[in-house]
Amino acid sequence: MKKTNIKEMPFFYDRYIDLVSEKETVLEALTSSQNILENLKELLVKQQDYQYQQGKWTPKDILQHLIDTERIMSYRALAIARGEQQELIGFEEQKYAKHTDASNRSVKDLLQEFSLVRTSTIALFKSFSDEMLLREGECSGIHVSPLIFGFICVGHVQHHVNVLHERYFNK
């Protein structure tokens, strides 16, 4: 299924979904973007502890954030696809970031974990029927579907790749 199958673009998440090609299905987009971070490995290693401003995340912090977010979005997709009727809660990314140990991990390790998580996300989305992808639920007061979360996974990574290029790699 493609972005055009999304009934209503969700507030806040649209900024990520808009970064994904109109031409690709959710599975194609997840698969084609799987190595986007691996392709930046040299730059990530070179700038791994750089902060462009006091209090901003390092590239390693960003990698950990991408891993955490993909896991959360996949869980949300799974819950709604399986018919969860309770509203799913949000998460505070800054609080999550404070409780990681990304600074003591290598870029190689973080990239490997991201690859494993993305492979798992792809397997999950392969298991969804079209009906499951369009099943509706609520998350943080926003009407969503598993299809939306698949595109968020792709667009969220692209958003942070753009930030890395703009604020970390062009120094």
Render pLDDT for 43-55 as a digit per residue (tens, 0 to 9): 999 999 999 999 9
33: domain CATH number is 1.20.120.450
pLDDT in tens, 98-152: 899 999 999 999 999 999 999 999 999 999 999 999 999 999 999 999 999 999 9
This prediction has a pTM of 0.96
CA distances from 34 to 44, 120, 136, 158, 167 (A): 16, 11, 26, 11, 22
What is the domain count for the chain? Answer: 1
Q: Which domain holds residue 122?
A: 3-47+56-169
